[in-house]
Amino acid sequence: MSQNEGRTERKGLSGGCQCGAVRFHARLLGRPSICHCRMCQKAFGGFFGPLVTAHDGTWTRGEPKWFQSSNVARRAFCGDCGTPLAYETRYGLELAIGAFDDPTAVAPVIQVNMTDKLPFFDGLTSLPIREHPSEEWLDFMAGVHSNQHPDHDTEDWNPREQL
């Protein structure tokens, strides 16, 4: 890994949506962050938006659909499964950290837009943990068969064949 003007060059990281219809690859990544703005909360359907700048990000399978979320930004998502994939402004493309095959490779190092941070966010790690799942839950999980794309590039993938 080498540093160049705040950018990190890596062999390359891939990722994509849950169903596998859209995939991406990037080598030159910027600073991974957690964005607390309300638009990211809504776009990700979560408490924040985890994003990393992709200076050379390319779509390697399919194309995402785009939503113009404001006058200065648009957001990409899979048109088939709805997975949030990217955020783009005139400053460049940012990819969703959770959509990478290995999200730990781009772990967030900073939080931004703190004025919209949800008041309960800092206390989430202190919530009780259910250590012993119920028999009903274990039975349910035993019957789950995932149709999710694997966390690696595949030569061919048709998500409709998985249904």
Cα distances from 109 to residues 3, 20, 53, 82, in angstroms, run: 16, 28, 12, 26
CB 81 within 8 A of CB 19: yes
Report the pLDDT value the prediction gives residue 151, as an integer from 0 to 100.
82
Report the pLDDT value the prediction gives residue 1, as an integer from 0 to 100.
29
Closest CA to 112 of 43, 46, 32: 32
Report the pLDDT value the prediction gives residue 7, as an integer from 0 to 100.
53
> What is the rounded CA–CA span in Å between residue 158 and residue 163?
10
Cα angle 13-18-22, degrees, rounded to a multiple of 5:
60
Residue 3 has pLDDT above 70, yes or no: no
Helix (H) / strand (E) element for 14: namely: strand 7-16
pLDDT in tens, 5-29: 455 554 899 999 999 999 999 999 9
> What is the rounded CA–CA span in Å between residue 64 and residue 32?
21
pLDDT in tens, 99-115: 999 999 999 999 999 99
Residue 4 has pLDDT above 50, yes or no: no
Model pTM score: 0.84
pLDDT in tens, 34-85: 999 999 999 999 999 999 999 999 999 999 999 999 999 999 999 999 999 9
pLDDT in tens, 111-149: 999 999 999 999 999 999 989 989 998 888 888 887 778
Report the pLDDT value the prediction gives residue 38, as an integer from 0 to 100.
96
CB 33 within 8 A of CB 112: yes
SS3 state of residue 75: strand
pLDDT in tens, 146-159: 777 878 888 877 75
Pick the CATH number of 14-116 from 3.40.50.11030, 2.170.150.70, 3.40.50.720, 3.30.1490.20: 2.170.150.70
Domain coordinates of the chain in residue numbers? Answer: 14-116
